[in-house]
Structure 1
Amino acid sequence: MNQDNSRRQFFAGAATAVAGLAVSRTALAGLPEPVMRTSVETAPPLIPTTGRPYNPVVTLNGWTLPWRMNNGFKEFHLVAEPIEREMAPGFKVNMWGYNGQSPGPTIEVVEGDRIRIFVTNKLPEHTSVHWHGQRVPNGMDGVSGINQKAIPVGKTYMYEFVARRPGTFMYHPHADEMVQMAMGLMGSWVTHPKVKHPHISDVDRDFCFLLNSFDIEPGTKTPKINTMLDFNIWSWNSRVFPGIDTLNVRKNDRVRVRVGNLTMTNHPIHLHGHEFLVTGTDGGPTPPSTRWYEVTTDVAVGQMRQIEFVADEEGDWAFHCHKSHHTMNAMGHTVPTMVGVDHRGLIKKIQKTAPDYMLMGERGMADMGQMEMPIPDNTAPMMTGQGQFGSVEMGGMFSMLKVRKDQKPGDYSDPGPYQHPKGTVASEYTGPLSEPARMRSEIDNADAAKTPTSAVMNAKKPSSHSGH
């Protein structure tokens, strides 16, 4: 997790950066230059140097948007534009995003801040921005046609409002929403409390990311925006495992993870090795009396969930969506199940005309994690990723929580594979094995099954129906 120099790179020259904006030339000096970033590495937290202080978040495979203070306003500049996002090493996708990335940069503010956001439209069509979950003046809510005119191509609009309540939110278009969100236009928003809040704990590490999904034909680069349900790429912040960075923490850190869902289905997010509390939603922090411990929480479409736990178990703990197909990369929806089918004779015939053809699915799909089959260019393998014990056989919405006692405070770097204490790893047993004990009912059923099929059953017919 290295600081990326491009994070502070500006467009070359203010005149170039704001060419064609819907503001007068005399107002150009009033626009903050847009900050761009294209690296897919997780950036360190952005420590505030102006405005009210707060404990910053870390955006998984993302970053926080810098701002400037101007006469009491915290000013940001978002640029909506076509971008290219690397979803995993060697797998790049044409998307729409903000400031060089999809999702766009996280916006962090403090409760009570006066916010001014300039939004420049460099998309091929009009757009808008909705501040999901925020209390804003009606004319700043971002629904084009109802609250405002859509932002034309090449123009800049300005949004102003006060961050009225703390919580975890997001931003996304409300203009041609099906296309623009399917292409990746979205971002996270965090409003920190101004003073100590009775329902918000102090934490040592604070992570955030969005759940998103795409339908991308293997070998292509542009999502199919008209797909309704059959998505094949499930991602966190537009990254798929093993391209998703791990969440690296110090043992006994109190950890907060903020998750938002802008896919077309719900996601049961599951953490191994720890229990957590749901401490907030996009409606705000949850009162402690409403919380209970979970290891899985369902994040429905359009929802934010904020979970907290104490990372008191060392190790590399899986953290993933519990829908099994969502921890895979590109899959076909019409592939038949071949488990148990012996088709070796057919394979020999096929290989006469297609020598590279390989058998798939006869024993399950685990072999896919071992094979190095040729796949189309610009495609992530369905099952991928290596751990210290072999193939992880995962993809999609999967990462790890890495807990280490020697991880220094403020150090978010990957500590590498966990070194297990001796005798604490499951291994092969080579001793004697006795016949497994069976329930009495199973034994009786087995004996009954041995009864000869030719056995004659005698029945006595009643002489009358009297007494019935």
Structure 2
Amino acid sequence: MLSRRGFLGTAALVSASAVSGRVQAASIPEAPIMDKVTMQPPLHPTSGPDYRPVVTLNGWSLPWRMNGDWKEFHLVAEPVVREFAEGMKAHLWGYNGQSPGPTIEAVEGDKLRIFVTNKLPEHTTVHWHGVLLPSGMDGVGGLNQPHIKPGETFVYEFEMKHSGTFMYHPHSDEMVQMAMGMMGMIVVHPRDPSFRPVDRDFVFIMSTYLIDPGTYLPKVNEMTDFNMWTWNSRVFPGIDPLPVRLNDKVRVRIGNLTMTNHPIHLHGHKFVVSCTDGGWVPESAQWPETTTDVPVGAIRAFDVLADNPGDWAFHCHKSHHTMNAMGHDMRNMIGVSKKDLAKAVGRLAPDAMVMGSTGMAMGEMEMPAPDNTLPMMTGTGQFGPIEMGGMFTVMKIREGLARDDYKDPGPYDYPKGTVAYKVDAPPAEAPRQNKPKESAKQTEMKAMKGMKGMKGM
């Protein structure tokens, strides 16, 4: 749900660099905010070139206003509360009510004027990651511009010279501010609507957090040992599914501002990487994949023909990235009898549960946990526990979806005879093969070894 709140007269206006036609503080547009955590409908253009708008997983696109030939946006950097999934919220920093911030959509050749108001307790800036623009608009605090102090509003003005997929994030105390969730996506559509068109266009950004169970605040100095692996600051089962009409051509744009790479895998289909943050990949240079690695500080967009109906897993293929918060120092107890151990532990901690001797499947387990903590593996499908978390969702391909219908279509109705099934009895054991006979050469070598042994007697 979009609401309006004005910042007229509440902030001083400073330009990010010397620009012509400097606007006045009284003309700052209002800043829309979002209070929902589900994917919002696509924001179709009302003027200018036509394009297929993107939809942001668990997010939205930032509305704008036209002021002459300038497309004006207003970002507000501020503390926010983000629900990772039902049962857990985090105190983050973000933009316009959410972390990550809203997606900024534009068209190749658009002139953008982006107002940035700082409501954080410290200074900030915004860097437009991958966008080719004048140096004074690049957003590196101290190098390209003064830092935006609390209560100030800066304006950035530049032309979007290239279509593609980009990101925005601070370049001001960025270790803290990015670790607190300050980031968002930018999608620039081609001016020619016939260039690489698709039927559905999804976008999200990956971020990671270390939040101790039962707490609300990320540890911003962590570099490697994260326990919340998120898409648009959501974890499974809180990540939106991707509803797709059968035989749609689909584009998925993925940004990575975590501390590690992510091999992103889609089940049931092959796809081609069509775009990076450096631009479009020529069609002659594309090759089919089912998994694409998204490096740190990069984007990858892939195109897929959704010609295989069903519910298809879509996830990072690093197994620990599809889990939620839990200690990482657990001992491997597989194969260890837990009978005696349970007695010993029970004397010290009567409520403790000894686990792990037969694996770590937890889909149907319930055990006490601190407030504001999610199970390590969670989610339920029509056949039982899915046992996933973190960077996991489902692409749901169905016949008959309307063009702009992005509602969850529910579980797939499998045609009769197309689901793996249990047999009543195991098949008869196949006869074991006889030991292969020795070759003549092997027999001769063995005899020679025996003779050498006899000579030494």
Q: TM-score range by the shorter chain?
A: over 0.9
Structure 1 gap segments, 5+ residues each? 446-456
Q: 2:118 aligns with which of 105, 121, 135?
A: 121
Which amino acid is the alignment partner of residue 460 of structure 1? K
Cα contact 1:384–1:391 (8 A) shared by 2: yes
Per-residue deviation at 1:427? 0.8
Within-5 A mapping of 1:10-29:
10-11=4-5, 13-15=6-8, 18-22=9-13, 27-29=24-26
State the shift of 1:343 in Å.
Answer: 2.3
2:276 is the alignment partner of 1:281:
yes
The size of the alignment, in residue pairs, is: 439
What's the secondary structure of 2:24's corresponding residue?
helix
1:115 touches 1:161 (CA, 8 Å); kept in 2? yes
Q: Is 1:45 matched up with 2:42?
A: yes
Q: Which moved more, 1:329-338 or 1:83-92?
A: 329-338
2:356 maps to 1:361: yes
User: Does structure 2 retain, via aligned residues, the 8 Å contact 1:51–1:74?
Assistant: no
Q: Does the Cα contact within 8 Å between 2:50 and 2:193 map onto a contact in 1?
A: no
The SS at the match of 1:336 is coil
- Structure 2: gaps (5+ residues): 16-22, 439-448
> Where does residue 208 of structure 1 map in the other structure?
203
Amino acid at match of 1:29: A
Q: Distance in 2 between matches of 1:23 and 1:461?
A: 94
- How far did 1:409 drift? 1.8
Q: How many Å separate the matches in 2 of 1:432 and 1:416?
A: 34
- Is 1:136–1:161's contact at 8 Å kept on the other side of the alignment? yes
Q: CA deviation at 1:42?
A: 0.4
SS of residue paired to 2:452: coil
Distance in 2, matches of 1:218 and 1:156, equals 36
Instruction: Say if 2:143 is the partner of 1:149.
Output: no
Give the match for residue 374 of structure 2. 380
One-letter code of the match for 2:11?
Answer: G
Whole-Å Cα distance in 1 between the matches of residues 208 and 191 of structure 2? 34
1:432-447 map, 5 Å: 433-436=427-430, 438=432
Matches within 5 A, 1:417-432: 417-431=411-425
* Alignment-derived partner of residue 236 in structure 2: 241
| SS class of match (1:274) | coil
Deviation at 1:435, TM superposition (A): 1.4
| Shift, 1:27, TM fit | 3.1
Does the Cα contact within 8 Å between 2:51 and 2:193 map onto a contact in 1?
A: no
- Per the TM alignment, residue 296 of structure 1 is displaced from its structure 2 partner at its CA by 0.2
| CA-CA distance at 1:348 after TM superposition | 2.1
Whether 1:179 aligns to 2:176 is yes
CA distance in 2, matches of 1:71, 1:406: 41
**What residue is the counterpart of 1:170 in the other structure?**
167
- Residue 460 of structure 1 is matched in structure 2 by 452
- Quote the Cα distance in structure 2 between the aligned partners of 1:353 and 1:147: 60
- 1:21–1:120 Cα contact (<8 Å) kept: no
Q: Is the 8 A contact 1:216 1:222 kept in 2?
A: yes
Question: Could you say which residue in structure 1 is the equivalent of 2:222?
Answer: 227
Q: CA deviation at 1:54?
A: 1.8
**Could you report, residue by residue, the CA deviation over 1:228-279 in whole angstroms, capped at 9, with x for unpaired residues?**
1111110000000000010001100010000010000000000000100100
Aligned to 1:89: 86
TM-score (norm 2): 0.92
Q: Per the alignment, in what secondary structure is the counterpart of residue 159 of structure 1?
A: strand
CA apart distance, 1:88: 0.5
SS state of the match for residue 346, structure 2? helix
Opposite residue 21 of structure 1, the aligned amino acid is A
Is residue 402 of structure 1 aligned with residue 396 of structure 2? Answer: yes
Identify if the C-alpha distance between structure 1 residues 337 and 262 changes in structure 2 by more than 3 Å, giving closer, same or farther: same
Determine the C-alpha separation between the residues in 2 that align with 1:301 and 1:310.
Answer: 27
| DSSP-derived class of the 1:259 partner | strand
User: How far off is 1:50 after superposition?
Assistant: 3.3
Letter in 1 for 2:13: A
Give the match for residue 445 of structure 2. Answer: none
Offset, 1:463: 5.9
Q: What SS is found at the alignment partner of 2:321?
A: helix
Which amino acid in 1 is paired with 2:159? V
1:440 and 1:140 map into 2 onto residues whose CA distance is: 76
Q: Secondary structure at the match of 2:301?
A: strand
User: What's 2:446 paired with?
Assistant: none
Aligned residue identity for 2:271: F
- Distance in 2 between residues matched to 1:444 and 1:10, nearest whole Å: 84
Task: State the shift of 1:139 in Å.
Answer: 0.4
Matched, 1:54 2:48: no
Distance 1:156 1:432, change over 3 A: closer
Residue 442 of structure 2 aligns with which residue? none
Could you list the per-position Cα deviations for residues 330-370 of structure 1 after superposition, in whole angstroms to 9, with x for gaps in the alignment? Answer: 1222111011111212212322443321121111001x221
- Separation in 1, partners of 2:360, 2:429: 30
CA distance in 2, matches of 1:377, 1:196: 49
Offset of 1:145 from its aligned partner? Answer: 1.1
Alignment-mate amino acid for residue 112 of structure 1: G
Deviation by residue 1:388-437 (Cα, 9 ceiling, x = unmatched):
00000000000000000122221100010001011111010124512145
1:71 match: 68
Are residues 1:191 and 2:188 paired? yes
Partner of 1:449: none
Residue 451 of structure 1 aligns with which residue?
Answer: none
RMSD (Å) for aligned C-alpha atoms: 2.0
Q: Give, in whole Å, the separation in 2 of the partners of 1:439 and 1:388.
A: 42
| Conserved? CA contact 2:13–2:25, under 8 Å | no
Instruction: Tell me whether 1:258 sits opposite 2:253 in the alignment.
Output: yes
**CA 1:438–1:293 in structure 2 vs 1: closer, same or farther (change >3 Å)?**
farther
Q: Kindly state the Cα deviation for residue 52 of structure 1 after the two structures are TM-superposed.
A: 3.2
Asked if residue 310 in structure 1 is aligned to residue 301 in structure 2, the reply is no
Which TM-score applies when normalising by structure 1? 0.90
Identical-residue share of aligned pairs (%): 59
- CA change 1:287–1:334 in 2 (3 A) is same
